[in-house]
Structure 1
């Protein structure tokens, strides 16, 4: 069975996404009974661990978790793997993914597995 490891504890993290990558940032807050993790920047093998920590802590502590993906500029298979593991560990909804993420979800078929919503409000309400 999949297991997410977490050490974030609801902390805000900001750092470099690789040596030349853009700054990534995470924000977390409650919205309509759901815990929202808002991710901004690019997520790859080097930059995904803080997001993994945040999502892992969130699914352990909250019955509904929403990833606000509207601020994600780039994501690779490491990010996709994280979403699948999080989905298996708890209730995850992905809100507002930009076109690049929508294409990634469609190409890999994960759009049929993940619960994808247009906005954080829609994801929190569903």
Structure 2
């Protein structure tokens, strides 16, 4: 199956877009479900300059995802695209929205010269 086709699991797809490597996550992301995403993010961080994580289809997230994102943020240029409102609330409650780079869309996150 090509990387740009959707597949089951928390990592729905991966693809290149406008100089970024985009990972599409979905579902509920907690300690029991983040391992596949952690592997995808680590590999992307090693191989690509800018990693965009599309969280539009993530309906629940807890501290396991937050820890993973902060770790990845230290390893590469990580941009969070289209986070679900429930995930935005987690970021706001923990102050992670002041550390992570959040964007409304994947296109916004993949615009050159974005912080």
Could you state the TM-score of these two structures normalised by the residue count of structure 2? 0.89
Residue in 2 that maps onto 1:14: 8
Task: Give how far 1:13 is off.
Answer: 6.0
Give unpaired runs (5+ residues) of structure 2: none
Number of residues of Structure 1 aligned to a counterpart in Structure 2: 109
* Contact in 2 for aligned 1:25/1:41 (Cα 8 Å): no
Residue in 2 that maps onto 1:65: 51
Give runs of aligned pairs for residues 15-94 of structure 1, distance below 5 A. Answer: 15=9, 24-94=10-80
Task: Give how far 1:26 is off.
Answer: 2.4
* Contact in 2 for aligned 1:26/1:51 (Cα 8 Å): no
Could you state the TM-score of these two structures normalised by the residue count of structure 1? 0.82
* Contact in 2 for aligned 1:13/1:50 (Cα 8 Å): no
1:108 alignment partner, one of 94, 99, 104: 94
1:11-70: per-residue Cα shift (whole Å, max 9, x none)? Answer: 97634xxxxxxxx34210000000000001111101000000000000100000000000
- 1:67, 1:37 → 2: CA distance? 5
SS of residue matched to 1:45: coil
- 2:41, 2:12 → 1: CA distance? 10
- 2:68, 2:7 → 1: CA distance? 17
